Amino acid sequence: MPLRSIIERCPLSVAQSLPYDTAESIMNTARSISADAASQQGLAGDILNDQQPYVYPILSKCYRDLQDRLISGGVETFSKYGHIYGITPTQAASPRTNVNISYQGYWNGQTSIPNIVIPADLIKPLELWECPSGAGFWTPMKQAADSISSRPTQNRFGIWDYQNDILILPGSSNTNDIKMKYLCYAPDLTGPLSVAYVVHCQTALSNMLVASVCKMLGGLEMAAVFQKDADQAIDALINRTARKELYGSYRRIPFRSSHGRGRRGSW
């Protein structure tokens, strides 16, 4: 049967298949590898039963730890775009005074405005653009190499710095908007239908969960066994991403290589 006919006959299994694991599938794996599924509750488990009050808080902690490990390994697990609109002109008496935007609000050099904030899920900015408020063209901003130098107040920011969870900007005489690409955390895993947005992370997360629960219950030897398996799974996730990046590399043929012999001027 042609492939197209097969796809048309079963569109759900082909078109809607995603590589993300749900919290319940991760929990089922954790209950299986820890033998908790052998309890009277079956696959629902006993110690790792969904109704245990500690299960999903620990799973969410493991999920954040996994994201941190991936980021430390050079994997930018999640990035997204966000905007900060209507950043009003500086009210600082001196152009040497910078303004800043935090999770709590915008300091304009004189007062704090609470409704102008950086995104709540931001870990760190990657790239920033700016434009006069309501205008249509975004201009790239430059990240400060060390710190923002003093300068006369201009109608745009031009440069940015990020320290202690605060976006620091030189004062501007104009009302501007900012667009940013930033690194963020994925939503926590709070119930069976929650989705872990790291491709095929089931092995890593289930072992991390079992290791954490073993440690909580005093089973340090078993915790070390499951943590070792978790570390190996995390290394595999990091290596998978590193290998994917190598696909984009290329190598120029040396000028006097044998492949170029007799074809002067070719590359």
Q: Which of 184, 204, 227 is the last residue of a domain?
A: 184
Q: Which residues 6+ apart lie within 8 Å of 71 measured at CB? A: 77, 123, 183
Q: Which of 169, 184, 199 is the last residue of a domain?
A: 184
**Same domain? 112 vs 164:** yes
Comparing 45-49, 157-161, 180-184, 255-259, which segment has the lowest mean pLDDT? 255-259
pLDDT at residue 242, rounded to an integer: 67
What average pLDDT does this structure show over 30-42? 92
Considering the domain boundaries, does residue 202 fall inside one? yes
**Same domain? 138 vs 220:** no
Identify the band that residue 245 occupies on the pLDDT scale cut at 50, 70 and 90. low
Task: Name the residue with higher pLDDT: 43 or 3.
Answer: 43
For the chain, what is the domain count? Answer: 2
Task: Name the residue with higher pLDDT: 43 or 258.
Answer: 43
**Same domain? 129 vs 195:** no
What average pLDDT does this structure show over 137-158? 93
Comparing 34-48, 100-114, 225-239, which segment has the lowest mean pLDDT? 34-48
pLDDT at residue 32, rounded to an integer: 96
Judge contact between 101 and 120, C-beta under 8 A. no
Q: What is the pLDDT of residues 122-143, one digit of tens each?
A: 999 999 999 999 887 999 999 9
**Rounded to whole angstroms, what are the CA distances from 11 to 1, 15, 16?**
15, 6, 8
Give the per-residue SS3 of the chain.
Answer: CCHHHHHHHCHHHHHCCCCCEEHHHHHHHHHHHCCHHHCCCHHHCCCCCCCCCCHHHHHHHHHHHHHHHHHHCCCCCCEEEEEEEEECCCCCCCCCCCEEECCCCEECCCCEECCCCCCCCEEEEEEEEEEECCCCCCEECEECCCCCCCCCCECCCCEEEEECCEEEECCECCCEEEEEEEEECCCCCCCCCCEECCCCCHHHHHHHHHHHHHHHCCCHHHHHHHHHHHHHHHHHHHHHHHHHHHCCCCCCCCCCCHHHCCCCCCC
Q: Which of 145, 163, 184 is the last residue of a domain?
A: 184
Considering the domain boundaries, does residue 259 fall inside one? no
Considering the domain boundaries, does residue 119 fall inside one? yes
Judge contact between 105 and 117, C-beta under 8 A. yes
**Same domain? 17 vs 56:** yes
pLDDT at residue 136, rounded to an integer: 79
Q: Which residues 6+ apart lie within 8 Å of 260 measured at CB? A: 253, 254, 266, 267
What average pLDDT does this structure show over 141-149? 92
**Same domain? 199 vs 223:** yes
Which residue range forms the structural domain that includes residue 159?
79-184
**Same domain? 192 vs 63:** yes
**Same domain? 83 vs 180:** yes
**Same domain? 84 vs 207:** no
